[in-house]
Structure formats: structure tokens, C-alpha cells
């Protein structure tokens, strides 16, 4: 994130021609109170969950002059932030330190003083269970934690990606049942859903300049969310209610899931046709200026949304007697890609004069995408698990963005723990591994170094596409190329 403007906005900037004041008068008394505090930057912002979504959001409000409190159960994260230590790559270290020093941004591991907060943003994880069932437990816990602190003039905005109906069927009942008596949603307290749109590693689109969507339980709720978000984001698109906003977020991510699955399936076809490369085909199709958007194959999908959103939609679809067959199939194609990659690695090792239990594999990149440190649901997890299950003797990794890496729930057939040893990327290290598999294409990795010194390479990202030497290309097995 670029260093924020630390000057609070003027009332004129927020209320051109006095229209905001006029609109405020049409709202319930509690809403008028909240709007007044927002327009004068007197409102206190509370952000629950200080990860890739929550901390950038908190930083933007603090930079606009709002007192901003972050709540996170990770006490190490809380201590780091309160010391001015930024831990999110996309944020500017000096900007975070400055906001903390000015007292605009602070963190805590508890909800004490929550009644002083005017706007709550819930930015908590929304994982799936081992059977791919949606797990709303983090949302429920955060909602229960803020419910006792509710008072007239507060807004609660859920930002965690979830299935349609969560805001109305999960969050609202908890607030109504466990909040103070006498408060009415839409009149005293306001509730809305506004999905996050964070793209880790994207320097062009940040929290501040990426348009957002918001839908509230009532018209007043929607307006409160629009005005609160409008303090830091110029373009806030409102929809009819929380369900539309929740579904919109799923559409964004499932659109990508489906198109990546198409590229992955066609890549497997191209591998069977001598001389045919899916990478060349996509680049050629991308020259069409309309009706096509390029998506590339890869080792699988990762991150906090794309791998799980199809399952969230499938769950709610079943309650309406509907099967999302096409979407579910696409998710399955993507989920099978790590196995396809491992098969290629095993075939590569089989061509070397070494037994499987004596072979060494170097996993190059364990983050879920290039140039970030985020390893959540990275394809590397399943690739390492499968390589261990195949009996590969040594598995190591190199990732310039990830200092330590542990495969979740990962032990091999010999009972070795989930931690994977990290190594420096040197000619000697590359030569010591029978196979190098490029899972993540980080810019900091020198493709020439890898191509020259690795005995055999499985390239799942076309990271070595610029290598033209025929002798070096003979060592490369490219995903999606026959």
C-alpha cells in the first residue's frame, strides 16, 4: 500500500453541497448520530481479525483520521502491531509505524471497551471442514463477542467471504438474541455485508482504490454501510441486501475457479498432443480484443477464497434442492492438479538412476501465488503430502518470501513431521536434487540459475518460458505442453 495521506478529510469533501447533511436528516435518530460521527471523523472503527483483509482496512481508516482499534486473538500479532511492526507485505512499514505512533491505530486481544466502537468490521477466516462443509464458527464467535457491546448508533459490517444467507441467518440472530434488550436492527443498530476484495501482491489495486459492494438488512443499514465505507473508498456499489452482496463475492471467485479449471483440463489434453502447448494457445487467444480473457493452467488453486467458495455455494444450493454440477466439477478439476503434478515429478525421478526412497525433490515456491508470503491452501501442501506418500526420500523447499513452512496435517509414511526444510537456492543445492518442481513463480528466483543447474525440472507455471537453449529445455517438463 502506498503511504496514506495522514490528514483527516474535511466535512466538505464528505458532504458536497450539503447533500450529506440533508440525507442524514431523513435517517433514524441512531443513524443520524452515526453519520455525524463519521462525517467529522469522530467515529471509532473496530476491526476484528488483523490479517490480509483486516489490517489494510484498519490502516486506511486510521490514515483518514479515525481512531481505529484492531482485535485479534493472536497475541503475537497484537504485540507486533502495537510496537509499530508491520507484518503484511502489501502495506508500507513506515506508514503503519507512523499510525501507531500517532495513536490512531492500536490492537488488542480482547473486546473490552467495545461499546465505544461505532463501526465494527468482521474480517475473520471462513474455512471449510475436512468434508468441505462451510465452517462459520469464526463468524459466530466474533459476532457473539461484540453482541454484548451493542448500543444505538453502531454499524456491524461482515466482510468475510461466505455463503448467501450468512448475514441474515447467522449474524443477525446472534446480535438480536445476545445483544442488549430493546435494540432493533435497522433502527438502533445497523448490519450489512460488504465482501473483501484483497489481491495479495497487487501493487495497482489496494483497499483504497478498489470499488466495493455493500448490502444491508434494511435501506438504512445499506446507507450506513455505504457512508462508512465511503470514508476510505470512492466507489461503493450498493445492492438490494446481504444475500446479493454475499452471492456477488462467490461469483467473483467462482468465475476464476471455473476458468482456471478450463485451462487446467485443456492443459492436460495438450500434454497428449506432441508439439502442442497450452501456454502458446492461451497467449494466441489473448490477442483477441473482445470476448476472451486469458487464464493459465497451474498446479492447483490456493489462497483464502477460490479453493473453498465453490463448496460454500454447493452447500447452500442443496438446501434449495439444486446441484451446482458445473461449478463442483470445476473445483474437482482444480483439486486434482497437485496429483497430476506429482505424477509428472515421479515420472521425472523414474528416468534418473536413483531409487525413490533415495531421491531428493526441491519444491520451488510454497506460497499460493507469486511474490507473496501467503501459504494458505497452497497447492504445495498437497504436492508435498503426495510426494511423501509416494515414498520420496527427501523433500526440501526454497521460497524467498516464506521463512518457515509446515504442511498442515502433514506427515509422511515414515511418520516425519509436517515441517519441510528450507534451503538456499544455489547451484550446489539444485544439483543435489534429482527433480525440482516449480510450484510458485516468484520474480526473485533466477530462471537461468534453475535451468542451468537443476538435473530435471517440472515447471507448473511456465516460469522458465524464456529459456531458449535446446539443451536446457530438454530438462524441463512443462505443465500443459506435449
Closest CA to 376 of 14, 7, 53, 43: 53
Burial of 391 by CB count in 10 Å (0-12 exposed, 13-18 middle, 19+ buried)? middle
Q: Which residues of 253-265 are buried (b: 16+ CB within 10 A; e: fewer)?
A: bbebbbebbebbb
Q: Which residues of 211-221 are buried (b: 16+ CB within 10 A; e: fewer)?
A: ebbbbbbbebb
Q: Calculate the CA dihedral of residues 332, 337, 342, 345 and round it to 10 degrees.
A: 160
CB 127 within 8 A of CB 51: no
Cell numbers at 305, concatenated: 477464497
CA distances 272 to 268, 348, 377, 456, Å, are 7, 16, 29, 20
| Distance, CA of 207 to CA of 199 (rounded, Å) | 9
| Distance, CA of 131 to CA of 128 (rounded, Å) | 8
CA distances 377 to 380, 394, 420, Å, are 8, 22, 16
Closest CA to 310 of 329, 283, 288, 287: 329
| Distance, CA of 255 to CA of 246 (rounded, Å) | 14
Pair type for strands 476-478 and 457-459: parallel
Contacts of 194 (CB under 8 A, 6+ apart): 157, 158, 159, 212, 213, 214, 215, 225, 229, 245
| Distance, CA of 273 to CA of 174 (rounded, Å) | 57
Alpha carbons within 13 A on the beta-carbon side of 182: 2
Contacts of 390 (CB under 8 A, 6+ apart): 342, 346, 356
Q: Which of 123, 221, 270, 305 is catalytic?
A: 305
Pair type for strands 405-406 and 419-420: antiparallel
**Residue 193, strand partner residues:** 158, 215
The three-class DSSP label of residue 109 is: coil
305 catalytic, yes or no?
Answer: yes
Active site residues: 305
Amino acid at each position: 500500500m502506498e503511504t496514506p495521506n495522514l490528514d483527516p478529510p474535511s466535512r466538505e469533501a464528505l458532504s458536497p453541497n450539503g447533500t450529506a447533511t440533508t440525507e442524514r436528516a431523513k435517517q433514524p435518530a441512531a443513524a443520524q448520530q452515526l453519520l455525524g460521527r463519521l462525517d467529522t471523523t469522530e467515529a471509532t472503527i473496530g476491526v476484528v481479525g488483523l490479517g490480509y483483509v483486516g489490517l489494510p482496512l484498519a490502516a486506511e481508516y486510521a490514515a483518514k483520521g479515525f481512531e481505529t482499534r484492531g482485535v485479534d486473538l493472536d497475541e503475537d500479532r497484537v504485540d507486533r502491531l502495537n510496537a509499530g511492526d508491520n507484518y503484511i507485505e502489501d502495506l508500507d512499514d513506515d506508514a503503519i509505524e507512523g499510525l501507531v505512533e500517532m495513536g490512531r491505530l492500536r490492537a488488542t486481544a480482547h473486546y473490552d471497551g467495545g461499546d465505544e466502537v461505532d463501526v465494527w468490521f468482521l474480517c475473520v477466516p471462513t474455512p471449510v471442514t475436512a468434508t468441505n462443509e462451510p465452517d462459520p464458527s469464526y463468524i459466530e464467535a466474533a459476532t457473539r463477542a461484540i453482541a454484548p457491546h451493542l448500543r444505538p448508533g453502531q454499524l456491524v459490517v461482515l466482510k468475510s467471504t461466505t455463503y448467501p444467507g450468512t448475514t441474515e441467518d447467522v449474524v443477525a440472530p446472534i446480535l438480536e438474541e445476545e445483544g442488549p434488550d430493546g435494540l432493533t436492527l435497522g433502527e438502533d443498530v445497523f448490519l450489512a455485508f460488504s465482501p473483501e476484495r484483497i489481491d495479495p501482491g497487487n501493487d495497482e489495486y489496494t483497499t483504497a482504490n478498489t470499488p466495493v459492494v455493500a448490502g444491508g438488512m434494511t435501506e438504512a443499514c445499506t446507507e450506513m454501510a455505504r457512508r462508512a465505507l465511503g470514508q476510505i473508498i470512492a466507489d461503493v456499489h450498493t445492492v438490494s441486501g446481504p444475500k446479493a452482496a454475499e452471492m456477488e463475492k462467490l461469483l467473483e471467485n467462482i468465475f476464476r475457479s471455473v476458468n482456471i479449471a478450463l485451462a487446467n483440463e485443456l492443459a492436460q489434453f495438450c500434454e497428449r498432443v506432441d508439439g502442442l502447448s497450452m501456454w502458446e494457445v492461451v497467449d494466441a487467444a489473448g490477442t483477441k480484443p473482445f470476448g476472451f480473457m486469458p487464464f493459465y493452467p497451474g498446479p492447483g488453486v490456493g489462497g483464502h477464497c477460490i479453493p473453498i467458495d465453490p463448496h460454500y455455494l454447493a452447500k447452500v444450493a442443496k438446501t434449495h434442492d439444486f446441484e451446482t454440477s458445473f461449478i463442483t466439477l470445476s473445483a474437482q478439476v482444480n483439486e486434482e492438479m497437485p496429483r497430476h503434478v506429482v505424477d509428472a515429478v515421479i515420472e521425472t525421478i523414474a528416468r534418473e538412476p536413483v531409487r525413490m526412497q533415495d531421491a531428493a525433490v526441491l519444491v520451488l515456491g510454497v506460497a499460493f501465488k507469486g511474490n507473496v508470503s501467503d501459504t494458505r491452501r497452497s497447492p504445495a501442501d498437497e504436492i508435498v503430502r503426495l510426494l511423501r506418500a509416494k515414498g520420496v526420500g527427501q523433500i526440501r523447499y526454497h521460497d524467498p518470501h516464506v521463512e518457515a513452512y509446515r504442511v498442515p496435517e502433514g506427515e509422511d509414511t515414515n511418520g516425519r513431521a509436517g515441517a519441510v526444510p528450507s534451503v538456499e537456492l544455489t547451484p550446489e543445492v539444485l544439483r543435489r536434487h534429482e527433480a525440482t518442481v516449480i510450484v510458485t513463480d516468484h520474480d526473485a528466483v533466477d530462471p537461468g540459475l534453475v535451468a542451468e543447474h537443476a538435473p530435471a525440472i517440472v515447471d507448473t507455471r511456465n516460469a522458465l518460458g524464456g529459456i531458449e537453449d535446446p539443451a536446457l529445455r530438454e530438462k524441463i517438463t512443462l505443465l500443459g505442453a506435449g
